[in-house]
Amino acid sequence: MKRAASYREDDPKQRAKTADDPNDDTISIADRAYKIIEARIVQLKYPPGHSLSEHQLSQELGISRTPVREAFRRLAIDQLIEILPRRGAFVTDVEVKQYLHLLDLRRQIEKFMAIRAAKRATPQQRAIMAQLAAELRAGMMDPEQAVFVYADRAYKGLIVEMTRNPFVAGIIAPMHALSRRFWYCYRHQWNEDEAQVAIRHHLLVMDAVAAGDEAAADRAVQTLFGYLEGFAHRVLHNEHII
């Protein structure tokens, strides 16, 4: 499976290439700006309510304001920022009830994705998924890192490819970004074994897809989202107590 090279915002060579490479058009630069700003919002480096400046970001990233403005437009569509006339752009709030609405929709989309992936994946893709699952089980990385990076990698990359549906990636990507931000935001409400529990639920989906078992994939997604909704209700309950 062919994967694009990773882009690191802290690599000055890559930042210089973003700004100065004549082969990069405005759209590709805007895409890089979008990914950098999205990651900062999701990881709470830009917390809810944070004011975003086109001028400041263009200076920091070494690009013009046009691609930053395009990135803002996309982030607003994804509901990660809100653009207010004559006031500017602000990071949106994280609301538990909104997240539950998101999960309700995600459940249906990811059920479709898992079933299609189980049915349509190539032998090579199944082997890669099985390897990802094996590495998760082997504890090759910190559980918390695995929740945010490794399990997510399987969804964002491989399962999307396995569906062979050209519309899935664009639909699910912003939902995953909003969901990751929710988990970062409420990291303080995790139980001691929360990361391990989350990984186990992701593994059920990964195993079913790798095995090509459509019925098991369906059941695994339902179990996963039962867990995700349970965590959200726990957060909601704790907020009411406070």
User: Over 70: is that where the pLDDT of 77 sits?
Assistant: yes
Q: Which of the four pLDDT bands, split at 50, 70 and 90, describes residue 23?
A: very low
The arithmetic mean of pLDDT across residues 21-32, rounded, is 65
The answer on 165 and 110 residing in a single domain is: yes
Instruction: Give yes or no for a contact between 109 and 159, defined as CB atoms under 8 angstroms apart.
Output: no
Residue 89 CA, distance from chain mean position: 21
**For the chain, percent of residues with pLDDT exceeding 90:** 73
- Give domain status of residue 3, yes or no: no
* Arithmetic mean of pLDDT, 7-23: 38
Give the integer Cα–Cα distance in Å for 71 and 29: 9
Tell me: do 29 and 50 sit in the same domain. yes
Tens digit of pLDDT for each residue in 205-223?
999 999 999 999 999 999 9
Please, which pLDDT band fits residue 58 given cuts at 50, 70 and 90? very high
Instruction: Determine the pLDDT at residue 241.
Output: 66
Looking at 74, 91, 108, the residue that finishes a domain is 91
Query: Do residue 150 and residue 36 come from a single domain?
Result: no
Q: Where are the alpha helices (DSSP H) in the chain?
A: 12-20, 26-42, 54-61, 65-77, 96-120, 123-137, 143-145, 151-153, 160-163, 168-185, 194-211, 214-241
Average pLDDT estimate for 163-169: 96
Domain interval for residue 23 = 12-91
What's residue 188's pLDDT? Answer: 93
